[in-house]
A = this chain, B = another copy of it.
Amino acid sequence: MTERPRVVVMGLDEDRWPEGARAVADVVDLEFATSREALAGALSGAEILFAWPGEDRGMLPAAWSRATRLRWIQTASDGVDWILFPELVESHVVLTNGRRVFDAAIAEYVLGLMLVFAKGWVPMLERQRRHEWRHRDTELLAGKRLLVAGVGPIGRAIGRAALALGMEVRGLGRTPRPGDDVFELVHGAAELPDAAGWADYVVDALPLTEGTRAMFDAAVFARMRPNARFVNVGRGATVDEEALVRALREGRIAGAALDVFEEEPLPAGSPLWDLPNVIVSPHISGDFAGWREAVVELFLANLARYLTGQPLENVVDKRLGYVVEPRLR
């Protein structure tokens, strides 16, 4: 009898493992680790790591010397910036992510936030508290211009939802490319200031990589239209937050809805909490009820591939920091 592979689940309490997925223990040894000590112990001899993002991002680097038999890491997230560190990038360990699990939820989240701005619902809810009936014309999204930075499955789902309401949709990727059924055209990263200046809504759905760090900076916000709203569901560090606060304070842009921040949880003293026309949410855009089950299901499907020697899905290019579309490889 061959040895059963050991799977370490990092950052998830055993009691949150879905009931329907208990049977996996019949084919692999499952160990749960939510502390540095537990992880170091569990990683010895483990082939597979199923990694859930938590607050201690030093957990895996601290235990890395024990990961001598590790061959594959599956993340429970779409973004992988939180788990990447030089030794992992250099290693032969294969990294796969939660691609596609969060697309629909994030697209709904972004569409809704654009509608919250267009319909003026934040000030309207304040008037409701005062029992104040005041008619205001609303804005249409139909006919408005949306730029989506990040043209992977999440960006495409956002674009598709916006298209259905009659918006004009452009994308921004690493390199320029012709339009397709979602984006009328795709700008390259270098064109961000121009591309952002064209739009009524600018959505950041970027992964955090060396290329995207602080990509939304003062120069970009300066080029945006004064009526434009900025929505960030990508990663906080893709934005120069100080520059964003200045742009909002000076009225260079009309509003922002932020689900991700340079520092999370957003510090209680951040000016973003109280700026008018800013909506702050606690990194929940993708987290629909059922996302844990969906991510476990994705892991189990990949595990079946692993155990039968088939190629894994959602393999991340560790140097780029995201999954490269097959057609662009």
Contact = CB atoms under 8 A, between A and B. Distances in A.
Interface stretch (A113-121, A170-178, A188-196, A296-304): A113-121
Given A105-B140, A109-B138, A136-B284, A116 B118 contact: no
Contact of A128 (B109, B116, B133, B273): B273
A119 B137 CA distance: 24
Contacts of A287: 135, 137-138
Interface stretch (A56-64, A65-73, A159-167, A210-218): A159-167
Contacts of A281: 121, 124, 128
Contacts of A141: 108
A1 to B, nearest CB: 41
Nearest to A126: B125
A282 B133 contact: yes
How many copies of the chain does the oligomer comprise? 2
A40 B139 CA distance: 36
A232 to B, nearest CB: 15
A288 interface: yes
B135 A283 contact: yes
A164 B166 contact: no
A164 B108 CA distance: 10
A179 interface: no
A131 B289 contact: no
A142 interface: yes
A28 interface: no
B282 A137 contact: no
A168 to B, nearest CB: 14
Given A116-B112, A128-B273, A273-B128, A134 B282 contact: yes
Interface of A: 104-105, 107-109, 111-112, 115-116, 118-119, 121-122, 124-125, 128, 131, 133-142, 160-161, 164-166, 264-266, 268, 273-274, 279-285, 287-291
Given A108-B165, A125-B279, A128-B281, 14 more contacts: A105-B138, A105-B140, A112-B112, A112-B116, A112-B118, A128-B273, A128-B280, A131-B274, A136-B282, A136-B284, A137-B287, A137-B288, A138-B287, A139-B289
